Each structure stands twice: as structure tokens, then as C-alpha cells.
Structure 1
Amino acid sequence: MKIDLSGKKALVTGSTEGIGYAIAQGLAGAGAEVIVNGRKEDKTTKAVEKLNAQFPDATIHGVAADLGTAEGCEKVIKAVPHVDVLVNNVGIFGPQDFFETPDSDWQKFMDVNVMSGVRLSRAYLPGMEKQGWGRVLFLSSESALNIPSDMIHYGVTKTAYLSLSRGLAKRMAGTGVTVNAILPGPTLSEGGEAMLADEVKKTGKKVEDVASDFVMAARPSSIIQRAATVEEVANMVVYVASPLASATTGAALRVDGGVVDTIA
């Protein structure tokens, strides 16, 4: 099985580091033209440079924009009027007690984690439908199903992506355009490493071992009993973005290491 995305243009939001960067890497490696996005110009440029160094024959661009605003989304849409693959990856998270989370924080999470995907999908899906082929993917989370009590606002936004992806899959029925959600579990990204840095320093353990300890303490239902790598999540995204996944749509595809305790 060979994944070939030659001739396809892919936009990956929030892709200057972490899972988003790994997805951009995977798509470029499969031959796609890739548009990288980040909020800051310097980080976006640096990510593009790194990808160009790794894939000198690839076509890679960057568009810096804050997708938590309508203006930022419009900036990306104007810079890149059409894509074949849209990966709605950008997102924010952070623990905060429900009773200490003001309206402004709820609105910020909704704007970044939900409305960015709404706005970009609304802009790009008609072009995909017109050409008879396209892929839209939403990076949800196992937290969409296992709502974390210390991040209820975050969980709500990730559950919203499940509704959005399923509804859009139905809306695009019969068009050749598929829409799916990806649900990562605990993943060892740059952000995860930063969160565990103090424990790594205190214990002297490798970051992977500290991450495994965290997973088993915070997500004891994990079957792999470790954090996933960003590449493992990206591999699922690249496959679902490819022509090989043409019969997969409206799905919530888990890359959660078995954290969600269900057989469905």
C-alpha cells in the first residue's frame, strides 16, 4: 500500500510544532503541496524552512494568521483560495476549574477550537465538491468522550468537532468529499514535554518514561500504557487524507492508545 498525494494541496492549521507539524511532515513526505500555518510569522517561517530542508523537492508555503479570529481565517482563505485537503488541527487547551472559567475563556476556546474549523470548512468545501474530491479532517480528542473534569470547556469544544465532522460528512454525501474526526489520546508533543519537564528533572527519568507514568496515573484505561508519538497520530491523518480512504467518512477515528473504554 503506497500513499501518494502528488498533485494535492493540503492546509494544516496550527502546524508549526507538535501534532500539526508532524502531519505537515507526513503529507509532504507523501507528495502533497503543504501550507503551514501558525499565529507568529517567525515560527511559521522556521517551520517552512525545516520542512523544505527535509523535503527539498516538495512545495511548501506558510501563512501566519490567528485562526481564532474571523479576520485571521479570511487572511488564510485569501492567500490560499483552494485546497484539496483541509486539516483543522489548531487548538488550545489548559486545565481550569469550571467555576473559575469566565465567559471570555469559554469564548476564546470556542473561537480557536471550533469556529476556526467552521469558517475554513465553509470556505473550502464548495471547491472540493465542485471538483468531486476532497478531504476535511478535524483534530478532536479522546477528551471529547472522556470529558476531563479539570478542562470541561476544552472537552466541550472537542465534542463539538465530532458533531461538526459527522454533520458535514452527511452534508457532503455523494460528492466524493469525505469528512472525518481524529481523536488522539495522550501524545508526547513539544507541549507535553514542556509540561513534564519538571518531573523529568526531579526524577532523572527519560521523558518517555515520565510520560508513561503520567498516562497510567491520569488515563489508567490506556491499553498501550504510554503516550503516543506525534508521528503515530500523523500516520492516521495522512492515510485518511489519501485516496485510499475513500470509503471512510463521518467517522471518529481514535488514535488514543485504547484510552476510551469501548468496543465501538
Structure 2
Amino acid sequence: MDLKINGKTAVITGGDSGMGLATAKLLASEGVNIILSDKTDKELQKAAEEVREFAIKENKVIAVTADVTKNEEVLQLAARAKEEFGGVNMLVHCAGIRGAAGDFLSLSDEDWYKSIDVDLMGAVRVCRAFIPQMQEKGRGRIVLIASENALQPYQEESPYNACKAGIINLTKCLSRAYSKEGLMINCVSPAYVATPMTEEMMVQLANKRGTSKDKAIEWFLENKRPHIAVDRRGQAEEVASVIAFLCSERASYVNGSNYRVDGGSVESAFG
């Protein structure tokens, strides 16, 4: 399917791995210029090289380090986009952390502030920086990453749950504010997807249980994510396909929506 986005420009945060990297590769293969961003330069440059293998014709892939908890770095990222491409048409915000987890009473203010700073305020900062560029162009696509946790919260991940619920609400708020200016703003809620974040979780679980990572994954699916109907972890590319659609002209009547890419994990029909 032609997504009709050849020649457009996208900035992708959290782009050096996981869903961000998979999305960058897919959009590059559709002829999109890519601004790949993450915190660590070495990993980011390696990821950019991978994405360049998918780029077509004269389309460009550039890597720009930025920490979404630092507003000045986000503004520098936006300035670079303006300098290189005259602004962006798409923003895909994948940067995020699991943050502190455990019993609610054991979590400190600092635990909460760190999750909020990255997972919620990070989205606020990048949207605030890039919406003006889309307004100038009269067209834009923003895709934020929420989570199944926003709809089906897990008791040991209360900061993450709350921040991701905030992402869904922020998405709806922004979509109502800017759709008349040509901006379509949506979010995607993945479930248990194979990314560096969940890999780290599984290594920690394997060490805690004294077992292999594969056995830890099996245990986690059976005991912690029993509602995943397909009974496996998702792949980053499966989420990227939905993100790419939402960035495309094919999604011209999709606005303020939350797309669950969860293998059936959310138990409720109306979540």
C-alpha cells in the first residue's frame, strides 16, 4: 500500500532501538526523511546507519542526540529539523522508561518525578516544540506511545500506569486543539513487546527466579500477562506498522484515537 508520504520528514524520539528504530526503518522505506533522536550518540549513530539501508533515492537520515527531560535539548532538536528540512511533517514520540516499580507505599516522590519527567513531560516537551512547525506547513501527524498499562494497570507499575494514561488524555486534548489546522494526533498502546526495556525486565526476572530468560518469559506470559490472546510477545515491527499508517495520508480521518497493539491483552472490550 502506498502511504503517500514520500518526501515528507519525520522526527522519531527514542529512535536508537525498539519501536522507534523499527518505525524509522519502515518510514524510510516509504521515502520519508528521518531525524532519529535519542540520548546516547554511539548507539544512535549505529541505529542511523541501519535506517539508511532502508532509505530510498535522495532521502536523508540524520541523527541528533537529545534528552527529552531537558527542554533546551528538545528545542535544539526542533531547530535542527528546521535547519535541515524546513520543519517536520511527522512526530513519533517513542522515548520512555518503565521507571520505578514495586509496592505503591515503597515508591518515593523522586521515583514518581522521574517517570513523570520522562514518560509524560517528555511528550509535552516534544509536542510543544514541533507543533508550531506543523502549523506552518498546514499539515502534521503526531503519534505518541501509550501502553496497555493505561487501560489495564498493573499494581506494581503505578507511576508508569499513570503516565501512560496521561498520554492518552494528552493525545485527545491536542487532537481537539489542533485538528482544524491540519494536524492529526493519535496514540498507540502496545502490550508486551520485545524491546530493550522488556528485555531488561526479563533479565531481572530470570535472575530473581534463578532461571533462564526464555523460562522467565514463559512464566511472565502465564502469570503476569495471561490475557494476551496470541500467547507471545509482540514484535517492534508489528507496532511500527500501525504507527506508519497513522503517519500516512491513509489515516486522514483518524484523530484523537488510541490504537491498541496488544495481542488481545486488554481484557475489556471497551478499554
TM-score between the two structures when normalised by the length of structure 1 = 0.91
Q: 1:124 to 1:204 in 2, by over 3 A?
A: closer
Q: Could you say which residue in structure 2 is the equivalent of 1:93?
A: 98
Which range moves more in the overlay, 218-227 or 126-135?
126-135
How big is the alpha-carbon RMSD for the aligned residues of Structure 1 and Structure 2?
2.2
- For the 8 Å contact 1:68–1:108, the answer to whether it is kept is no
2-structure distance, mates of 1:30, 1:56? 8
Paired residues, number: 262
Query: What is the letter of the counterpart of residue 176 of structure 1?
Result: G
Which range moves more in the overlay, 121-130 or 28-37?
121-130
Query: What is the letter of the counterpart of residue 9 of structure 1?
Result: T
Q: Give 2:153's match in structure 1, choosing from 125, 147, 161.
A: 147
Structure 1 position 31 matched with structure 2 position 31: yes
Q: Could you say which residue in structure 1 is the equivalent of 2:76?
A: 75
Q: Give 2:221's match in structure 1, choosing from 192, 212, 215.
A: 215
Identity of paired residues, percent? 30
Q: Could you say which residue in structure 2 is the equivalent of 1:263?
A: 269
Query: What is the letter of the counterpart of residue 242 of structure 2?
Result: M
SS of equivalent to 1:136: strand
Q: 1:213 to 1:4 in 2, by over 3 A?
A: farther
Please list the CA deviations of residues 147-206 of structure 1 after superposition, one character each: whole Å capped at 9, or x if unmatched.
22111011111011011000000001322210001000000123323433474997678x
Shift of 1:74: 1.9
TM-score between the two structures when normalised by the length of structure 2 = 0.89
Please list the CA deviations of residues 69-114 of structure 1 after superposition, one character each: whole Å capped at 9, or x if unmatched.
2122122122223210001110011423322222222112111111
Query: What is the letter of the counterpart of residue 13 of structure 1?
Result: T
Q: Could you say which residue in structure 2 is the equivalent of 1:65?
A: 66
- For the 8 Å contact 2:68–2:74, the answer to whether it is kept is yes
- For the 8 Å contact 1:182–1:237, the answer to whether it is kept is yes
Q: Could you say which residue in structure 1 is the equivalent of 2:240?
A: 234
Structure 1 position 49 matched with structure 2 position 59: no
Q: 1:107 to 1:210 in 2, by over 3 A?
A: closer
Query: What is the letter of the counterpart of residue 26 of structure 2?
Result: G
- For the 8 Å contact 1:216–1:226, the answer to whether it is kept is no
- For the 8 Å contact 1:69–1:111, the answer to whether it is kept is no
Structure 1 position 254 matched with structure 2 position 260: yes
- For the 8 Å contact 2:179–2:255, the answer to whether it is kept is no
Q: Give 1:165's match in structure 2, choosing from 151, 164, 171.
A: 171
Structure 1 position 175 matched with structure 2 position 190: no
Shift of 1:214: 2.0
- For the 8 Å contact 1:14–1:90, the answer to whether it is kept is yes
2-structure distance, mates of 1:153, 1:7? 39
Shift of 1:225: 1.4
Q: Could you say which residue in structure 1 is the equivalent of 2:139?
A: 133
Q: Could you say which residue in structure 2 is the equivalent of 1:4?
A: 4
2-structure distance, mates of 1:118, 1:194? 26
SS of equivalent to 2:142: strand
Query: What is the letter of the counterpart of residue 24 of structure 2?
Result: A
Structure 1 position 102 matched with structure 2 position 102: no
Which range moves more in the overlay, 101-110 or 139-148?
101-110
Query: What is the letter of the counterpart of residue 127 of structure 1?
Result: Q
Please list the CA deviations of residues 87-142 of structure 1 after superposition, one character each: whole Å capped at 9, or x if unmatched.
11100114233222222221121111111211221222133233221101110000
- For the 8 Å contact 1:212–1:227, the answer to whether it is kept is no
Shift of 1:241: 0.6
SS of equivalent to 2:189: strand
